[in-house]
Amino acid sequence: MSINEVFMPALSSTMTEGKIVSWVKSPGDKVEKGETVVVVESDKADMDVETFYEGYLAHIIVPAGETAPVGAAIAYIAETEAEIATAKSLANADGAAATPTPDPVPVATAAVAAPVTASQNGSNHQPGRVVVSPRARKLAKELRVDLNTLKGSGPYGRIVAEDVEVAVGKVQPVTTAPSIPPQPQPPVSVPTPISTPTPASTPAPVVSSSVPGQVVPFTTLQNAVVRGMVASLSVPVFRVSYTISTDGLDKLYKQIKSKGVTMTALLAKAVAVTLQKHPILNASYSDQGVVNHSNINVSVAVAMDDGGLITPVLQNADAVDIYSLSRTWKSLVERARAKQLQPAEYNSGTFTLSNLGMFGVDTFDAILPPGQGSILAIGASRPQVVATQDGLFGVRQQMQVTITCDHRIIYGADAAGFLQDLAKLIETNPQSLTM
């Protein structure tokens, strides 16, 4: 008999649970190895999940709309049609056996409610907890095998039936391929203040799901933001504000807007070019020391219509031309709204922008995303009466920017120098952003 489990995969390094968006296959359907069987909502995107087994989808443990911890079984796949009924009875038997048990087998309830540090294989299994497949638990009981003495060969260290059989000498040791192979991910940066994709047009209002008198549960994405923000409280930060005249940048934007260039891309490009001269602002802290990143990847915070926010990443923003950068940004925002971003497109940022200027906000402070050293908050560009160098008065377009930095690796002079050079670029040489 060969009945395999499909597990909730770890689709990002911050994911502790996933929500089943839809099952592509129905119970009894034939499935091929590598074929998509289910769509899962992680903390950042909806992603197709493939099976590493060939056979028949015998039983769905977690139906569409419900959530499960990473590493938990969500379905059974039987090798033959004849084993479908066996898989169903196995699921029913395991469900009945689990009823009086206060401690669930796959992953503890507490691991879902509290932030969990993912292990190297992407699971959130806590040390000391025995994770056992339903079939292995039943077999161990029949053969009187102590599960605590076994080392699991299944996905995320799970004890499977073959491990029990090996322990009693019924079969030779085998290597069980995981249904969802863990994929190591770079550190995820979770953004903070709300921003919108492009300041070129008036942003659409965020649709509220508030119902008077009711508690609306957090979405998966909102929960990820909550965990990130709580983690940020432990970081010592400081903030520096600066006033930048934008007349030249505004003029350039009007000239090239018709070619598809966005203000977001222009600002990201300006920041990236300035970071070339100030690499410490592009660095991040680790217990071992300063992490100097080889690429300048600018994240930009984008509010999601159903709550939460995400930071699509403009990778190598300093080296990409402004026209390609704008096309990339448009694509990133569209796919972010549709929850179709790949992990590297939202978790590889090294510096973050948060722009509330299009909402008319003058100035604000941004919370530092975990895993990064700096975030720049951008306010609205407004006409201001200023004193000119010749002693007269004039009107200039000015915006307030505030940078938040990790004080463990970045100091006040570092931040001030970066802002000075950013202002100089925007005020005196914005045309260089098109080269």
**Residues forming the active site:** 407
Q: How far is residue 224's CA from residue 232's CA, in Å, rounded to a whole number?
A: 12
Tokens 């018709």 correspond to: 258
CB neighbour list of residue 56: distance below 8 Å, 6 or more residues apart: 28, 29, 30, 31, 77, 78, 79, 80, 81, 83, 84
Count of positions (residues) in the chain:
435
Q: Rounded CA gap, 9 and 48, in Å?
A: 10
Q: What is the 3-state secondary structure (H, E, C) of the chain?
A: CCEEEEECCCCCCCCCEEEEEEECCCCCCEECCCCEEEEEECCCCEEEEECCCCEEEEEECCCCCCEEECCCEEEEEECCHHHHHHHHHHHHHHHHHHCCCCCCCCCCCHHHHCCCCCCCCCCCCCCCCCCECHHHHHHHHHHCCCHHHCCCCCHHHCECHHHHHHHCCCCCCCCCCCCCCCCCCCCCCCCCCCCCCCCCCCCCCCCCCCCCCCCCCCCHHHHHHHHHHHHHCCCCEEEEEEEEECHHHHHHHHHHHHHCCCHHHHHHHHHHHHHCCCHHHHCEEECCEEECCCCCCEEECEECCCCCEECCEECCCCCCCHHHHHHHHHHHHHHHHCCCCCHHHCCCCCEEEEECHHHCCCCCCCCCCCCCCEEEEEEEEEEEEEECCCCCEEEEEEEEEEEEEECCCCCHHHHHHHHHHHHHHHHHCHHHHHC
d(CA 324, CA 334) in angstroms, rounded, equals: 16
CB 308 within 8 A of CB 225: yes
Token digits for 176?
């069980």
319/165 Cα distance (integer angstroms): 57
